[in-house]
Amino acid sequence: MTSLTPFEFIIQQAINAISIGSIYALMAIGLTMVFGILRLINFAHGDLIMVGSYATLFLTLAGVPFWIAVGGGIAISCLTGLLMERVAYRPIRGAQDVSMLLTSFAVTIFLENIAILMFSPSSRPFPAPGLLNSAMNFGALRVNSVDIIAIVVAGILLILLTFFITRTDMGTSMRAVSQDLLASRLMGINTNRVFVTAFGIGSILAGIVGILWSARVGKIDPLMGFYPVLKAFVACVIGGLGSLPGAVMGGYILGFLEILLQGILPASLTPFRDAFVFSILIVLLLFRPNGLLGSTEMEKF
């Protein structure tokens, strides 16, 4: 392998960072959308990622062509999300923030243990086809196809979402509900439908992220979703919880930050990378609790 010039090295790392940032951004959008509308921090988002990946895996093993299996996986992830909303979250809507937080924690424990029971706790290889699993060479640069695909998919989805949020009636309703639930209900918005839509979109995004993530990592296990989603929370907080552009920005910042920390931390400290990421979360919550884009107004003493 030819050695890289510093410039090529930076390009390589930048592609890496944008790709992982795209994945975080997609996760963060799902989380932040649900939070903005329901004031619910949905830990179980990570398990939707897991459900989507397992569904894709088993459909493939059953002989379904990979790309159809991907569609099936995303659909199953979406259904699981809607079911979750109906069974666990709808009955406690309007309860205290803490109750909702704890409920989502319980849903996580439930889904993860079901998955452990059904699929065994050990990890399985994820059968990504060549298109997702090859590397391209540009001179000395070596770029994984899945990175490029992640970047492109994220780009397309972001454009679609922006269109949806700003140009459609449903999108406008969603923005209204996230600003003021009571007022939008008085204005005749069917809030139930808004909640379901938010959950549906979040779950579809989770399904897509699941496939991208699994193809990137190459294997899946029942607990695969928890840590990435915790990190996506950091991304949400960087951009301001509840803000969609903020979530996207936070996702990319987090991607760059991770790659940067990997690069600049001395070798003895690299295993502590995640500790640094979460320390940043805490520092940010302190000084800019509404994120880099948000205002600094927040209940704080």
List residues binding other proteins (CB under 8 A).
35, 39, 41, 87-88, 91-92, 95-103, 105-110, 113-114, 116-117, 226-227, 230, 233-234, 237, 241, 271-272, 274-275, 278-279, 281-283, 285-286, 289, 298-301
Q: Cβ closer to other proteins: 91 or 139?
A: 91
Give the shortest CB-296-to-other proteins separation in angstroms. Answer: 13
SS3 at position 163: helix
Q: Cβ closer to other proteins: 42 or 173?
A: 42
Give the shortest CB-95-to-other proteins separation in angstroms. Answer: 6
Residue type for 198, please? A
Give the shortest CB-109-to-other proteins separation in angstroms. Answer: 4
Number of C-beta neighbours around residue 115 at 10 A: 21
Q: Cβ closer to other proteins: 195 or 226?
A: 226
Q: Cβ closer to other proteins: 220 or 241?
A: 241
Q: How far apart are CA 214 and CA 125, in angstroms?
A: 9
Give the shortest CB-120-to-other proteins separation in angstroms. Answer: 10
Give the shortest CB-265-to-other proteins separation in angstroms. Answer: 12
Give the shortest CB-99-to-other proteins separation in angstroms. Answer: 5
Q: Enumerate the H helices of the chain as residue ranges.
A: 6-38, 45-61, 66-84, 97-119, 145-167, 169-179, 181-186, 191-217, 226-239, 244-264, 273-287
Q: Cβ closer to other proteins: 138 or 272?
A: 272
Q: Cβ closer to other proteins: 120 or 168?
A: 120
Nearest to 25 by CA among 252, 259, 209: 252
Question: How many alpha carbons fall within 13 Å on the CB side of residue 301?
Answer: 0
Q: How far apart are CA 126 and CA 220, in angstroms?
A: 6
Nearest to 40 by CA among 79, 96, 108: 96
Give the distance from CA 173 to its chain's centroid: 23
Give the shortest CB-83-to-other proteins separation in angstroms. Answer: 13
Q: Cβ closer to other proteins: 19 or 42?
A: 42
Greatest CA separation found in the chain?
66
Instruction: Show the CA angle centred on residue 252, arms to residues 135 and 296, nearest 5°.
Output: 175
Nearest to 85 by CA among 161, 157, 33, 25: 33
